[in-house]
Amino acid sequence: MSVLVRSLVIAFVVALPVEAAGQTNDRLPLKGQYGISFAFPDGGGAGLGVRKLLSSTTNAGLELQFSVSPRNTEHPPAADVSASVWSFGLAPDVRLYRKIGVPVVPFLALDGIVRFQHAENSNVFSTGAGIGIGAEWFPIRSMSLSGSTGAVARYDHQEQPDGRIDNIVSLGLFHSELTLNLYF
């Protein structure tokens, strides 16, 4: 599914009308519950994290993200040499939920990232912060599926094979992630 389609679906779910104020939902986890999460961030890879429901409107988490992918290069031009690109990072986040009584809960996402990437003679250290919108669906009390999208500002410190160092500041408009959360 394309990033734009995912973004539009999440924006639609967040804009859904709220049910009557007196209704409660027994599917939502209880304040103080912990959870583990399995994430599929944009750009590939996977994430494993821990979460804690701090209140009925605040959920905090810390995710370890990692990826390994093959990369083909040519050294010298006639020979084909394969090398892998790997990265790992830590991504703290806070979800600020709307107080509603439905199984789909919209949220505002505030997140950060600290990442290191290595690719044959090139290293990149990245740090950044983002803001976005998302929705979390609770089909049962102990499990949820969530998705979010938004913007992320990032600083990259890149060491090139020729010894040159590049410092790059960028803004990404569609940072997205799909997550399975298990609460206990």
Residue 117 CB partners (closer than 8 Å, separation 6+): 85, 86, 87, 123, 124, 126
* 80, pLDDT greater than 90: no
Taking Cα atoms as reference points, which of 113, 156, 149, 154 lies closest to residue 131? 149
Our CA dihedral for 26, 30, 36, 42, rounded to 10 degrees, sits at: 70
Distance CA 128, CA 156 (A): 9
pLDDT above 90 for 70: no
| Mean per-residue pLDDT, 31-35 | 92
pTM of the model: 0.75
Q: Give the pLDDT confidence of 57-68 residue by residue, as tens digits.
A: 899 999 999 988
Tokens of residue 92, six digits: 């703290």
Domain of 170?
3-72+81-183
Stated as kind and residue range, the H or E segment containing 84 is strand 80-97
CATH code for the domain of 16:
2.40.160.20
What would the pLDDT profile of 107-145 be if each residue is shown by its tens digit?
Answer: 999 999 999 999 877 899 999 999 999 999 989 878 999
* Cα 56 to Cα 35: distance, rounded to the nearest angstrom: 15
Cis peptide before 76 (omega within 30 of 0): yes
Residue 51: count other Cβ atoms within 10 Å of its Cβ. 24
Number of domains in the chain: 1
